[in-house]
Amino acid sequence: MHPEVQPALSGATPDATPDLSVVLPCYDEQDNVGPLIDELHRALAPLGRPFEIVCVDDGSRDRTLEALRAAQRRHAGVRVLRHARHCGQSAAFASGFGRVRGATVITMDSDRQNDPADIPALLAALAGVDVVCGVRARRADGWVRRVSSRVGNGFRDLVTGVPVTDSGCSYRVMSAAVLAELPVFDGMHRFLPTLLRLQGFTVREVPINHRPRTSGRSKYGIRDRAFRGALDCFAMRWFKARVVPAMRLVPDDEPSR
């Protein structure tokens, strides 16, 4: 068992193997995770597809874990994983990816700025591609954050040579198969579309709704990620030169036994 992950006791889960897996990284979001899980159930239940919601408590210092336990008691299919200490959003996504059971994976933030009502449109857009990435067409953030994001995206595209409209948006839908060889590092979640494109997967971008944060506070500042983000861009150039294609096997090449 990974030393940083402690599986919590799960609530009641559906008998059917899930088709959809939602991965939620949770860090100090005690007022948001419960209402978000309620919203997710309202959005997913009408689809008629078995689903699970995999919540990763990333060493929260508030009552996030208690809110997740309460959500488990209210809803079937809610699973909770716990990091032994705060490891960051990329680590939380990676822990969730390692435990999902569904063939399709949905990722989003836990601050309720992503709207679960967008899930049906994102799932529909997955037809014919490997990954669908949300683009916050009308960001409900301050102008400084919007401008800095636009500058960062432009610099990232210039250095990596891989255009991604909104790399900071974690709202994505993808085939679970694309995660098999995804490299894990601090900051991976911001480069996930770039990494997958470099590995040969097809990515589609779709505009999504973006809501104002009504509770809690952002865990990221502009200055504390600008320098590291710039260095990561050059790491992506190295990765681009050395990447091994993910889809390298000839289909059905192995003889049947």
- Summarize pLDDT for 58-77 with one digit per residue, the tens: 999 999 999 999 999 999 99
Domain 5-242 classification at class level: alpha beta
Closest by CA to 196, choosing from 204, 56, 250, is 204
Q: What is the pTM of this model?
A: 0.85
Is pLDDT at 24 greater than 60 in this prediction?
yes
- Summarize pLDDT for 180-219 with one digit per residue, the tens: 999 999 989 989 999 999 999 999 999 999 998 888 676 6
Written as six digits, the tokens of 95 are 């822990």
- Collapse the DSSP code of 132 into the 3-class scheme (helix H, G, I; strand E, B; otherwise coil) and give the result: strand
Written as six digits, the tokens of 106 are 């949905």
Strands 51-57 and 131-136 come out as unpaired
